[in-house]
Amino acid sequence: MRIGYGEDTHQLIEGRPLRLGGVAIPSERGPLAHSDGDALLHALTDALLAAIGEGDIGALFPDDDPENKNRPSRDFLRAARERAEAAGYRVIQVSAAVILDRPKLGPYRDSIRASIAELLGISPDRVGLTFKTSEGLALEHIQVRAVALLLPLDQL
Ligand code: C5P
Ligand code: MG
């Protein structure tokens, strides 16, 4: 059994689209980022890579490589899943906490869980997703923390 932890933070600025877990969220502000800035997919990608001891998202997709500019973050998580499967592991469960003051994310929880579940090839009930405000301490940022549990393919 393997576990991995990952996190991501992005500054939020006006006029940028907000994507979380591959889902577009109506918002006045979105992340300043080289890619699409999907902090949830970035944190999950790092959690998977950490679980198999393979570095992190920036090692796989350097942010100074023009090929990665505005790249959909789904590609990152898919690549991490492929790495995990190549190493002999299957993702069993993930859990993430998103810290964001606005907008409220509750209405999008199920669609985000479904999107992540599809990317990871697991059922949505194996995607835990919680939301917290920063109580006004980080109004200009989004932060995500995520964990992943993987099992060796021969133990499934
Ligand atoms: O941060 P706080 O404990 O005040 O958040 C209260 C609840 O608001 C959370 O448990 C969550 O259900 C919801 N929430 C949300 N979207 C956010 C932040 C919090 O739906 N961006
Ligand atoms: Mg990021």
Which helix (H) or strand (E) segment is 23 a member of? strand 23-25
pLDDT digits (tens, 9 = 90+) for 124-140: 999 999 999 999 999 99
In the reported structure, the alpha carbon of residue 142 is separated from the centroid of ligand 2 by a whole-number distance in angstroms of 10
With 80 as the cut, is the pLDDT of residue 70 above it? no
Q: What is the CATH number of the domain that holds 41?
A: 3.30.1330.50
Which is nearest to 46 in space by CA: 20, 17, 99, 84? 84
Residue written as token pair 């918002």? 27
Range of the domain at 108: 2-155
Under a CB-based contact definition with an 8 Å cutoff, are residues 3 and 149 in contact? yes
Locate the ligand 1 atom nearest the alpha carbon of residue 100 and give its number.
21
Q: Which one of the ligands is nearest to 39 CA?
A: 2
> Which of 4-8, 30-34, 68-72, 118-122 is the least confident region?
68-72
C-alpha–C-alpha distance, residues 54 and 35, integer Å: 21
Exposed e or buried b per residue across 132-153, where buried means at least 16 C-beta atoms within 10 angstroms of its C-beta: eeeeeebeebbbbbbbbbbeee
- Going by C-alpha positions, the residue among 40, 36, 46, 41 that lies closest to residue 16 is 36
Please report the pLDDT score of residue 33 as a whole number.
87
105 lines ligand 1 (CB under 6 A): yes
Domain count, the chain: 1
Please tell me the number of the ligand nearest to residue 44's CA.
2
| Partners of 95 in the β-ladder | 128, 147
pLDDT category of residue 64 using cuts at 50, 70 and 90: confident
Q: Is the pLDDT of residue 62 over 80?
A: yes
Query: What pLDDT, on a 0 to 100 scale, did the predictor assign at position 4?
Result: 98
Q: Is the CB of 109 under 6 A from ligand 1?
A: no
**pLDDT at 69 > cutoff 90:** no
Confidence of residue 68 (pLDDT cuts 50, 70, 90): confident
Question: Is beta strand 23-25 parallel, antiparallel or unpaired with respect to 29-31?
Answer: unpaired
Instruction: Tell me what pLDDT residue 2 has.
Output: 98
